[in-house]
Structure 1
Amino acid sequence: MTGEGRRFVQVDVFGSQALAGNPVAVVVDADGLTDIEMERFARWTNLSETTFLLPPTDPAADYRLRIFTPGGELPFAGHPTLGSAHAWLRSGGVRRSTDAVVQQCGVGLVELRTDGDRLAFAAPPLLHSGAADEETTARAADSLRIRRDEVLAAEWVDNGPGWLAVLLGSAEEVLALRPDFGSMKGLKVGVVAPQTHDHDADFEVRAFVPDLGIPEDPVTGSLNAGLAMWLIGSGRAADHYVAAQGTAIGRSGRVHVDRNGDRYWIGGETRTVIEGSVAF
């Protein structure tokens, strides 16, 4: 590895307060790093995602982003998108447009906007959608250690990571889950249910990705983006709602969803927690 120091920040994303969301590690000056160096650093941070800011190769983009989990690279992920945009802006990034920040990543161009004190990204199109087949649905139920008849619906909401969404009847059912991660091999399962009591959120969400070394992700932008398209499109959610995530593991994530025409905006708070340099 090369020995020079590179700017580094760690950003908390989607937290309803400080240190309540999902952290992402961002190497700001990543130009020149090799794939192996990026992979090693992502394994070393051991966070759900580590990102690397690079000069864009698309003239329409403000920057290019590569996203790694401890288990490999992703074409897109939501909380790293918000956290990396936050880091890029704070490090002096100058956007080409006054209206938006444009990120280039594995799924193409992703637009971001400022939403009050929050950042929000435009949900990328789904690569795989539609109802899951019965075999997959039953396998997902088994891996969640619930009966098949407790699954009200199961839908592919894949915008890059490969999400399978499972709808349950209540937030209490979601929070009670104790998955069998061995049975979940090959699946990335997001679980959602409406809140049935007075709450500051409308839905409760959990995300399980054991194949990528992430048994439970604290707060997941890509999953919530896919869920928004499904829940709103099927009439299960209003055009504007808030999802809670991370409750079961001691976080208080809040994801703000806003449909405007045919675009779905996924927003949340972003806060710099660690700032300095990293030597490769």
Structure 2
Amino acid sequence: MNDRSLTGLAFRHVDVFSRSPLSGNSLTVFPDASALDGPTMQALTQEMRHFESIFLSPTEHAGTFEARIFTMEEELDFAGHPILGAAAVLHELFGDNDGAQFKLRLKAKTVQLDCLRRDGWYEASMDQGKPVLGEPIEGEAANQFLAALNLRPEHKAQDLPLQMVSTGLPYLILPLTSGLEQVRVSTPDFEQLLQSVGAKFSYALDVTAREGRSWDNLGMVEDIATGSAAGPAGAYLVRHGLAEIDEHIIIRQGRFCGRDSGIHVRINGNATSPSRAVVGGDVVMVAKGTFD
């Protein structure tokens, strides 16, 4: 694709998990990326410099869009805050009523979205699907992961295991009662270590404060608010008796980035076999534009 083919390409800049601009997790949404190929989407994501960008293409079905999500390094099968941000942008562009529903076809699955128009912001939620929980990780194996994130065994919540949980993107949940402020990736082979237990990323979760932190696997970029980890985190809390089925769980994130964010989670089903994770948050419009 040549540079001139970008002329007139529209984009929206939104902040997710916040009601106020310049807070929460920022995102670029491209409402009609039908003419773009993968390498161009990757280059645009790098140009916009947000943690992630989402590219939408209309389908033959009203309210259903193809979606591709990119970080500055790679394409993802699934992610949280881009999907919620996309719901708000689609509602702004195509929603005639205060409530709207959309479907996004991702590489991994199709996601149902609900969106409400509020006074100055949007409230979006998505059905992340059935959480899948891996085997508990304890003892020396758990300590190896704690050390890789600059933590010690005493930082871990007593009698709780580390565990891989996925609703589309597998996270290793590390339950903590202290030490959240010192979390950082401290080993060069962290990605390989995560792969050994079937995880793609990690999520350090203070189970008392219900506050989390997540990094890229090189430890270079901290994510402000990780929607794709919030469903797994909520499922973990329910599975281990730290939250109730159907409870409105709020997970805080972004404090250490100066972008405090609140992620809303509700787990359906039962504690031993949760059937659905619903994740949501507020979205505010920040800017819009087109490429010359």
TM range (shorter): 0.7 to 0.9
CA-to-partner distance for each residue in 1:148-188, whole Å, 9 max, x for gaps? 35333211012333311100114xx2123243263523442
The TM-score normalised by the length of structure 1 is 0.85
Aligned residues of 2:51 and 2:223 also touching (Cα < 8 A): yes
Partner of 2:290: 277
Instruction: Provide the C-alpha distance between the structure 1 equivalents of 2:281 and 2:151, rounded to a whole number of angstroms.
Output: 31
Deviation at 1:99, TM superposition (A): 6.6
Instruction: Provide the C-alpha distance between the structure 1 equivalents of 2:189 and 2:260, rounded to a whole number of angstroms.
Output: 28
Instruction: Provide the C-alpha distance between the structure 2 equivalents of 1:214 and 1:73, rounded to a whole number of angstroms.
Output: 18
Partner of 1:266: 279
1:252 aligns with 2:260: yes
Aligned residues of 1:9 and 1:87 also touching (Cα < 8 A): yes
* Structure 2 counterparts to residues 192-231 of structure 1, below 5 A: 192-195=205-208, 202-211=209-218, 215-231=221-237
Larger deviation: 79-88 or 113-122? Answer: 113-122
Secondary structure of the 2:36 match is coil
Partner of 2:93: 91
Instruction: Provide the C-alpha distance between the structure 1 equivalents of 2:241 and 2:116, rounded to a whole number of angstroms.
Output: 24
Deviation at 1:46, TM superposition (A): 2.4
1:56 aligns with 2:59: yes
Partner of 2:115: 114
Q: In the alignment, residue 107 of structure 1 is paired with which amino acid?
A: A
Q: 1:65 aligns with which of 64, 67, 76?
A: 67
Aligned residues of 2:100 and 2:116 also touching (Cα < 8 A): no
Change (3 A) 1:31 1:99: closer
Secondary structure of the 1:81 match is helix
CA-to-partner distance for each residue in 1:36-71, whole Å, 9 max, x for gaps? 1011111222221111011237x5961111000011
Q: CA RMSD in A?
A: 2.6
Instruction: Provide the C-alpha distance between the structure 2 equivalents of 1:30 and 1:71, rounded to a whole number of angstroms.
Output: 19
Q: 2:203 aligns with which of 179, 185, 190?
A: 190
Aligned residues of 1:60 and 1:102 also touching (Cα < 8 A): no
Instruction: Provide the C-alpha distance between the structure 2 equivalents of 1:20 and 1:193, rounded to a whole number of angstroms.
Output: 22
1:176 aligns with 2:170: no
| Percent of aligned pairs with the same amino acid | 27
Instruction: Provide the C-alpha distance between the structure 1 equivalents of 2:235 and 2:137, rounded to a whole number of angstroms.
Output: 16
Aligned residues of 2:150 and 2:182 also touching (Cα < 8 A): no
Aligned length: 267
CA-to-partner distance for each residue in 1:186-232, whole Å, 9 max, x for gaps? 4421010134xxxxxx5111111235x86210001000011111211
Unmatched 5+ stretches in structure 1: 196-201
Aligned residues of 2:203 and 2:214 also touching (Cα < 8 A): yes
Q: In the alignment, residue 35 of structure 1 is paired with which amino acid?
A: G
Instruction: Provide the C-alpha distance between the structure 1 equivalents of 2:39 and 2:139, rounded to a whole number of angstroms.
Output: 39
The TM-score normalised by the length of structure 2 is 0.82
Deviation at 1:94, TM superposition (A): 7.7
Partner of 1:199: none
Q: In the alignment, residue 258 of structure 2 is paired with which amino acid?
A: G
Change (3 A) 1:124 1:134: farther
Partner of 1:35: 38
Change (3 A) 1:160 1:181: farther
Instruction: Provide the C-alpha distance between the structure 1 equivalents of 2:281 and 2:42, rounded to a whole number of angstroms.
Output: 27
Secondary structure of the 2:129 match is coil
Instruction: Provide the C-alpha distance between the structure 2 equivalents of 1:30 and 1:116, rounded to a whole number of angstroms.
Output: 24
Secondary structure of the 2:115 match is strand
